[in-house]
Amino acid sequence: MDEAVYLAMTGAKQVEYAQAINSNNLANASTTGFRADLHAFSSVPIQGPGVDSRVNAVVDSYGTDLTTGPVASTGRALDVAIEGDGYIAVQAPDGTEAYTRAGDLRIDAGGLLSTGAGHLVLGDGGPVAIPPSSSIAIGTDGTVSVRPLGQGPEVLAIVDRLKLVKPDESSLAKGDDGLLRLPDGETAPADAAVRLVSGALEQSNVNVAKTLVNMIELARQYEMQINTIRNAKENADAAAELLNLN
């Protein structure tokens, strides 16, 4: 009886973990450039004395869905979307280089170009700095041009170029901050073949309908595990009553 309760308890715990991953995907269904996390259940034998005849269902996070999300036009000068494969290089909070598809760029209080999440965008020589200007434009190759204050529309000055990369996606891993990284602190070289679409943003690649269905399925699995624990308790109580009769 204790074994049945233990197995049901561990199963419920793993379903909760899977539900957390699924709920996080759903919560980021409208997050620019978000990549859905993947998970799967696997069978793991219970180690210990005796025959390995019992197994636990364990949830494993086995990577990130890197498929391209839909691109929506915004008309905003600082919004950019990657056309096809590729990523924008940014500076992670710990100072390392990381990669994202989120192109909702803005200029922070210090004049540095950053994403909507606050990560500094990297250029040819580090974070991209934008001098005081009346307008800014980002070309398809990542070139950042500005119109200096007091100058006419015919005057454009190139200040930097976004670092656009195309790393091996099989080597990328997503961190807790939502950024993608190469293993062992490696960095990808700039790739001139990566192109941008100005005035557009790539949306999350989360399939809302599929995620909602998965949420319902996980809720039913959790309920089944709880019912197993409840039935085990009822059986134990019935067995105790029979022993008391004797």
Number of neighbours of residue 174 by Cβ within 10 angstroms: 21
**Per-residue pLDDT, 151:** 74
Tens of pLDDT, residues 64-119: 999 999 999 999 999 999 999 999 999 999 999 999 999 999 999 889 999 999 99
Question: Can you tell me whether residue 245 is helix, strand or coil?
Answer: helix
Domain extents for the chain? 2-66+206-245, 71-202
**The token pair that represents 25 in the structure block:** 């995907």
**The token pair that represents 78 in the structure block:** 């600082």
Q: Is the pLDDT score of 131 beyond 60?
A: yes
**Per-residue pLDDT, 54:** 67
| pLDDT, average across residues 222-239 | 82
Question: Can you tell me whether residue 95 is helix, strand or coil?
Answer: coil
Helical H segments across the chain, by residue range? 2-27, 208-245
Q: Is the pLDDT score of 52 beyond 80?
A: no
| 27-46 burial code (b ≥16 CB/10 A, e <16) | ebbebbbbbbbebeeeeeee
